[in-house]
Structure 1
Amino acid sequence: MDALAGLLDGPRARGAFLLRMVMEPPWSVRIEDRAPICLMSMTRGEAWIVPESGPPVLARPGDIVVARGPDPYTVAHARDAEPFARIGPGGVCTTLRGEPLAESMDLGVRTWGNAADGSATMLVGTYLMEGEISGRLLDALPPLLVLTAEEWNCSVMPLLDEEISRDEPGQSVVLDRLLDLLLIAVLRAWFNRPGADAPAWYRAMGDPVVGPALRLLQNEPAHPWTVAALAAKCGVSRAGLARRFGELVGEPPMAYLTGWRLALAADLLRESDATVEAIARQVGYGGAFALSAAFKRVRGVSPQEHRTNCRNGKGIPGAEEAGGRVEP
């Protein structure tokens, strides 16, 4: 498993918010959904993406923009256009006064806007739920990531454009997987740009010493690793691995492993019904007590509290909202 595979190996998109937005000027939509990440790609016309802070971005056909939550932003025909609509948690669409807009702007299956033949068309894909494993990577992204049509070319985009408005059995699963593929393609292109400021652990994947060590830790988290055992497996000295790992990744090997194990455990607690004891052993702890101690020390809550919070909708945007949703 490499760095990008680790991003989506746990909580892949499930019931992601996907739609085609079709607009005719004047228009402006305020996005306050607090989603962890949203991908926007123009297929026709232009649109401004205006963040809460930082410079606005003009998206043209073929460009893709990734907005990293939870900060709000505005998507509009002009950079200074006043919003007429608000997208809240869970994809709930209203006027700025709170009046529902979903039905009045419904243009068909996963299609929404103010004009069926509008001059601007944007594909939107939003992950609604935080992913613990993705935290390291998402933290390395700017608030707005932009790849122009000249900087990248992805075969997934035409397929997503074709599939997004279909209404067939299993279509939501197809779209979830396409969104995952698109996100991986975007991140790979972003970090591989000339002069890109990729995170240290991403660059370390290509190192002949640290790369193999990282893959061993990620692929076999339950193994009783020590720095000496890891160094022997990689064919280097213990001191050499510890020094090189710290230089490139920014933390010792065992600290990295602890973070990886706890991220895996957090996802398993949210996504499965396995006992804390079973999860503890699956990610490399001797039992429930050891996992609970580490989990609470690092995350401030016990594993069971984390599971209960997730299932009660705490921290999941829109989990307790109803009505007015722009249905994907």
Structure 2
Amino acid sequence: MDVLSDAIGVMRAGRPHSAEIRKRAPWGVRAAPFSGSGFHVVLEGTCWLIPPEGEPIGLGAGDVVCLPHGCGHALADSLSTPVVGAPIAALPEIRPTADAGAGAETVLLCGAYTLDQTRPHPLFEELPEVIHLPARLGRRSPLHAAVNLLGDEVANPDQGSGAVVSALLDMMLLYILRAWLAQESDGGWAATLGDPVIAAALRHIHQEPARPWTVEDLGATAGLSRAAFSRRFTSLVGKPPLGYLTWWRMTLAAQLLRDSDKPVQSIAQRTGYTSEFAFGKAFKRELGVSPGRYRQTSRR
């Protein structure tokens, strides 16, 4: 178990999906905002991605672009395509301006993940609206290896393709975030996970959320005094050690209430509470509703 995997795991809802899209110029499509994350990979040709804010991004073969927060955007063969000139909100929703073009062909691999954004991990919150990973970052990287495998599986489905595609999509999201973290190593959660002391403490919290951790215990795992560890942890993570521990316990509990039928008492024990009453008080203080009410409303 690690922080990156857990950050995605507690937010995941439903199965990811993907499709290969082929367009001949002129063409333009608009994708409306949605509750999740998406990506586009240019397998052949070129195109432009137009975000709701900021400059258009030119994409070439092998480029990967991720939209972690599911922002609305447009894709087009050229900035001169009429659909691109309209405001994002005014563009026709996922409707091509020209399906029967005779110009250059662009082949895209597109994927989407449904995510529960009610309690996003702070790592996820700091991601930008658009992550662009150019092909020059290395065609032999794990990310591009996953792109090739996914592209082949989508284009040539066979027995078991459903499971294979789902697993490859999970890999894609992790590799995209790994690549972004590697680029952003100077600050934020990239620096947090790159700090061996704090990364080790976070792993302990994620691996054993039910353990009655103290700041002294966590500092001891890193060989630091209580005060030095607390300052370092709070500076990098943005929460004090026990504040993050409580946040993670309640986030994990919310996921279990939403996605499983485990009894509340069992969830309380798994997240470090021997009493269902104490767990209920902590949960309501953190999320504003009782565990039972949360389970009921999150499944509607």
TM bin, normalised by shorter chain, reads 0.7 to 0.9
User: 1:82, CA displacement in angstroms?
Assistant: 4.5
Structure 1 unmatched ranges of 5 or more: 85-94, 106-112, 313-328
Aligned residue pairs total 288
RCO (CA 8 Å, sep 6+): is it higher in 1 or 2? 1
Query: Structure 1 pair 16/185, CA: closer, same or farther in 2 (3 Å)?
Result: same
- Structure 2 distance, partners of 1:142, 1:30, is 20
Contact 1:12 1:180 in 2 (8 A): no
Other-structure match for 1:218: 206
- Structure 1 distance, partners of 2:118, 2:171, is 19
Deviates more, 1:62-71 or 1:303-312: 303-312
Structure 2 counterpart of 1:135, from 106, 121, 127: 121
Deviates more, 1:21-30 or 1:231-240: 231-240
Contact 2:10 2:251 in 1 (8 A): no
Letter in 1 for 2:272: G
Equivalence map 1:99-118=2 (5 Å): 114=99
Say whether residues 1:283 and 2:268 are aligned partners.
no
Letter in 2 for 1:175: V
Equivalence map 1:73-88=2 (5 Å): 73-79=73-79, 81-83=81-83
* Residue identity (%): 34
Does the residue aligned with 1:205 lie in a helix, a strand or coil?
helix
Other-structure match for 2:147: 157
Query: Structure 1 pair 277/212, CA: closer, same or farther in 2 (3 Å)?
Result: same
- Structure 1 distance, partners of 2:194, 2:220, is 19
**TM-score with structure 1 setting the length:** 0.78
Does the residue aligned with 2:289 lie in a helix, a strand or coil?
coil
- Structure 2 distance, partners of 1:132, 1:216, is 25
User: 1:294, CA displacement in angstroms?
Assistant: 2.6
User: 1:14, CA displacement in angstroms?
Assistant: 4.3
Equivalence map 1:113-192=2 (5 Å): 114=99, 119-130=105-116, 135-153=121-139, 154-192=144-182
- Structure 1 distance, partners of 2:233, 2:124, is 21
**Structure in which a larger fraction of residues adopt helix:** 2
**TM-score with structure 2 setting the length:** 0.85
Other-structure match for 1:90: none
Contact 1:14 1:176 in 2 (8 A): no
Other-structure match for 2:38: 38
Say whether residues 1:199 and 2:188 are aligned partners.
yes
Contact 2:65 2:132 in 1 (8 A): yes
Contact 2:21 2:110 in 1 (8 A): yes
Query: Structure 1 pair 83/299, CA: closer, same or farther in 2 (3 Å)?
Result: farther
Letter in 1 for 2:277: F
User: 1:80, CA displacement in angstroms?
Assistant: 5.3
Contact 2:25 2:101 in 1 (8 A): no
